[in-house]
Each structure stands twice: as structure tokens, then as C-alpha cells.
């Protein structure tokens, strides 16, 4: 019995394609200047992370080695040492999803802007209620959740206000207004400003 014929030899593997070496292949890879710009952007993002408060940094869920490098950068006061540490932070950033980090930071920034707007709106409502207590009904109509607590708070704060004092009741009224506005789903700039009254 004859042995089966040997299989034909495999064709030689094609030579590896090196991008940019063939005139038909337009890809040349990122340029040196582009890589440098990307590195600077990552380093800038790293510097932004170093300036974050610990609670916000924790919410980003960064890799432990990057967190350690950021914490160390905060402690370094010498200019050259800090510069080198920030470069190291930027180097570590190359192994992270920078776009995802930026998205979380933008979300935090939006939340901060909303909270700041609410604080200013609460201050304006507090002043309006102290000057015109009849506007309590107007506020309660907009925010029914405040119906039970707002009247006594305004009375107590007005008693302090009449004595030109800004004590506990003044602060309690502000906190109540702020909490009510924060709990409301609508951005404060759209609906929570006390409308101007006729002079």
C-alpha cells in the first residue's frame, strides 16, 4: 500500500507591512509632534486631578498606582520635584481611559454649577421672604414640600432680622430653602428665582 502523497508546502508568509514604508499605504502613524501634544494633554489632565478634593478623586475610581502618584504630587512642594512627579502622573495617564475620566469630571462640574446656582437662589429667596413674608405662599405654591416647615422658620428668622441679627434661625431658613431647591428636579435658574416685585 502506497503512503499518501505529502501535502504541498505552505506558501511563504507575506512580508510584514510596515506602515508608511509603502507609497500605496498612506498611514504614517502619529507624528512626534502629535505624540508630544497628547502627552501634554494627559499631563494637563493629571494636574487637574492633583487639584481635586479627595472625595471627588475617589469617585473617579482611578487605578491605585495613579491615585498614589497623585497623592504624592500633592505633598511635594519643591518646584522641580513636583514637575517631575506631574510628568510621572501624565505617563501613568497613558494607561487610562482619559475620555472616560474627562466625562466624569464634566459631570461633576455640571453638578457643582447646579449646586452653586441653588445656593444663590436660596439666598435670594431667603432675603425675599424676610422682606415680604407674604411671599411664603408663593414659595410653597412652587415647592409644596416646604409647606409644613417654612412658616415657623420665616417667623423666627424675621424676629432675628428685626433685631439686625443673623443667628441660628437665619441660617436654618437658608438651609431649608437650599434643601428644598436641591430636591427639586428643575434647575434653579429656570424656575426657582423669586420674581421681582414692583417697587
Question: 20-30: per-residue pLDDT in tens?
Answer: 444 554 545 55
At residue 71, does pLDDT exceed 80?
yes
Host domain of residue 91? 32-96
The C-alpha cell of 159 is what?
424676629
- C-alpha cell of residue 116: 452653586
Q: How confident is the model at residue 165 (pLDDT cuts 50, 70, 90)?
A: confident
Q: Which residues contact 36 (CB under 8 A, 6 or more apart)?
A: none
Cell numbers describing residue 149: 416647615
Looking at the fold, whether 87 and 116 belong to one and the same domain comes out as: no
* SS3 category, 182: helix
Q: Which helix (H) or strand (E) holds 187?
A: none
Regarding whether 57 and 86 lie in a shared domain, the answer is yes
182 and 124 inside one domain: yes
Give the pLDDT confidence of 91-110 residue by residue, as tens digits.
Answer: 888 888 878 887 877 766 67
Taking the C-alpha atoms of residue 20 and residue 33, their distance in angstroms, rounded to an integer, is: 17
Domain contains 39 = yes
Could you count the other beta carbons within 10 Å of the beta carbon of residue 150?
20
Amino acid at each position: 500500500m502506497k503512503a499518501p502523497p505529502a501535502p504541498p508546502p505552505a506558501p511563504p508568509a507575506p512580508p510584514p507591512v510596515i506602515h508608511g514604508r509603502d507609497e500605496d499605504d498612506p498611514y504614517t502613524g502619529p507624528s512626534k509632534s502629535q505624540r508630544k501634544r497628547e502627552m501634554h494633554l494627559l499631563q494637563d489632565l493629571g494636574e487637574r486631578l492633583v487639584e481635586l478634593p479627595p472625595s471627588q478623586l475617589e469617585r473617579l475610581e482611578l487605578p491605585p498606582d495613579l491615585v498614589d502618584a497623585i497623592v504624592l504630587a500633592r505633598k511635594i512642594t519643591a518646584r522641580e520635584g513636583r514637575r517631575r512627579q506631574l510628568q510621572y502622573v501624565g505617563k501613568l495617564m497613558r494607561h487610562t481611559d482619559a475620555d472616560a475620566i474627562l466625562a466624569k469630571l464634566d459631570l461633576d462640574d455640571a453638578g457643582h454649577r447646579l449646586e452653586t446656582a441653588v445656593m444663590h437662589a436660596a439666598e435670594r429667596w431667603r432675603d425675599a421672604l424676610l422682606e415680604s413674608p407674604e411671599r411664603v405662599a408663593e414659595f410653597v405654591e412652587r415647592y409644596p414640600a416646604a409647606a409644613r416647615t417654612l412658616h415657623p422658620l420665616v417667623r423666627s428668622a424675621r424676629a432675628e432680622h428685626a433685631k439686625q441679627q443673623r443667628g441660628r434661625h437665619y441660617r436654618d431658613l437658608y438651609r431649608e430653602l437650599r434643601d428644598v431647591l436641591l430636591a427639586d428636579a428643575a434647575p434653579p435658574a429656570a424656575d426657582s428665582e423669586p420674581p421681582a416685585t414692583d417697587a
